Amino acid sequence: MLLVYLPRETNRTKYIFRLILGDLLGLDFKTTTDIEAFKIYTGPRFSYCRVAPDDALHITSHNLLFQRGIETTETGFGLLNGHPILFKTFNPRSSLPFDLFAASFYMVSRYEEYLPYRRDEYGRFSAKESLAHQKGFLHKPVVNIWSLLLKDVLLQHWADLKFNLPVYRCEPTIDIDAAYSLHHKGLLRTIGGFGKSLKKLNFHEIALRARVITGVVPDPFDVFEQFHELHEKLNLKPIYFILFADYGRFDKNIPVQNQTFRMLVKSLADNAKVGIHPSFQSNNSFSILRREVGQFGSLLNTEITRSRQHFLKLDLPVTYRNLINIDISDDYSMGFAADAGFRAGICISFNFYDLDLDAETPLRIHPFTVMDGTMKDYLNLSNQQAVEFATKLIREVKNVGGVFSTLWHNETFSETGRWIGWRNVYTQILENAIISK
C-alpha cells in the first residue's frame, strides 16, 4: 500500500489522485492528513505539500489543488528530459521538478476553457486557443507521460511496488451526419437538389441523383456494410454516433420519420454500439436535447447512454451538465476539429470534473485522437500524409498504453468527390493501429 501525505484533502486532490495513482498507475494507495501516521509508516510513501515534512520521497505542490474557484494562473511551462511539463517547482527536495498532479488537473479539468477566450466561427474553444497548441505539445498525451515519470521515481525507491498499467487498444468511432447523400431526404430537399444541379448544368450529378433515387445504384453514403466488413476483418468494435434531429442550418440528416433511416439505425444498433449525435441546435436548448435523446431511445427501445456533440461543440460546463441531466453516462466529444491530438492531454477515459461546482461528476469522458476532416480540411494533408500523421499519433498512444480512437464519417468512406482514396486511408490507419508495438 502506497501512502500519500497531504496537508488537507479537497475534491480536487481526491479526483486527481484517483486518476493518476489509480486509473493510470493501478496502484493500491491511500492518502492521509495525519503527519505522525505518515512519519511512522514503514511502507512506500511520499508527501505532497509545499515543504517536505521529513526525509521521505517528496513532491512539491502548487496551490491549484488546494484552492476553490477559477482564476488565471501561471502554468510554468518547461521541459524535463525532452518532455513538456507544467507547474514547475524549484524545491531541491522535490523528486520531480514540477507538480504533475496540478498539471494533470489543469489539463483534464479543461481549466483553460473556463477562462475568457476567443470563440471560433461555431462558438467553440479552438485548438489554437489551447496551451497545448501554443506550447507545441498537443500531439503528446502528457498526462499519461507524467504518470509514467512518477512511476519511474517510485520504482527507484521501491523496486517491488506493483503497478497495473492500462493496456493499449484501438477504438474506431463513426459519426453519421448524413446517412444518405441523395436518397430519402424528403420531397422538397430532393427537388431542391435537382434544382441546384440544373443551375450548375451538372448533368452528371442530375443523372446520378436520378439513378440513386430510382434504386438503380446505391446511395454513395450507404457504406455501412463495407464498414462492418472492415471492422470484422480487423476484429475491431466500432461505435456509431447518429444525428437524429430536425432539419436545421447545421443539421441535415435524413428526416427521423423516414422508415429506411429508422431501419438503418436499428440495424446498426443490432450489430454495434451506438450513441446519439446531438444536433448543433440542441447545444443551446436543453428541451431540444431531451426530445432528441427521447426519440432516439424510443426507436431503439433502450436507454441512450453515449453521445458525441455535432460539430464537437462543447460549452463547459453547460454541455456536460445537460448530458448528465438526461442520464448520458459516456461522452466522446473531447477533441478539437482544427487539430488532432489530446485536447485534455490524456488518452484514456476519465470522469468530468465540474470546476464551477468544484466536484467530480459521473459523466465519463472518452477523448478521440484524430478525425478525418481535421487532416483533410484543417491540416490540408494528402492521403499518404494523413496515414503518416495518424501513425505518429498511434505510436504516442501505444507508448503509454492508451486508447487510440479515430473519428470517421460514412461520407469519408464513400469514395466520391473530395474523399476519393480516403477509404484506403482509413483502412491503413486502422491496420497500423492494430499492429503489435
Q: Which three cell numbers stand for residue 55?
A: 526525509
Mean pLDDT value across residues 265-270: 97
CATH of domain 169-184+219-434: 3.20.20.370
**pLDDT tens readout for residues 166-208:** 999 999 999 999 999 866 555 455 545 546 655 665 655 555 5
Residue 91 has pLDDT above 60, yes or no: yes
Of residues 392, 366, 389, the one with CA closest to residue 376: 389
Mean pLDDT value across residues 393-421: 96
Residue 322 has pLDDT above 90, yes or no: yes
Q: At what angle do helices 422-434 and 224-233 cross, to 10 degrees?
A: 20
Angle at 314 between CA 87 and CA 65, to 5 degrees: 25
95: which residues sit within 8 A by CB, 6+ positions away?
Answer: 46, 57, 58, 59, 153
The region of weakest confidence among 133-142, 325-334, 427-436 is 427-436
Of residues 402, 307, 397, the one with CA closest to residue 350: 402
Domain map (residue ranges) of the chain: 2-157, 169-184+219-434, 188-216
SS3 content of the chain, % helix, strand, coil (to 5): 40, 15, 45
Through-space distance between the first and last CA atoms of the chain, rounded to whole angstroms: 31
Q: Which helix (H) or strand (E) holds 60?
A: strand 57-60
**pLDDT tens readout for residues 335-358:** 999 999 999 999 999 999 999 999
Q: Which three cell numbers stand for residue 373?
A: 476532416
Q: Please give the pLDDT value at position 329.
A: 98
Q: State residue 341 phi and psi, 5-degree precision.
A: 115, -140
Q: Please give the pLDDT value at position 195.
A: 60
Residue 435 has pLDDT above 90, yes or no: no
Could you give the C-alpha distances from 262 to 231, 296, 417, in angstroms and in order? 22, 10, 27
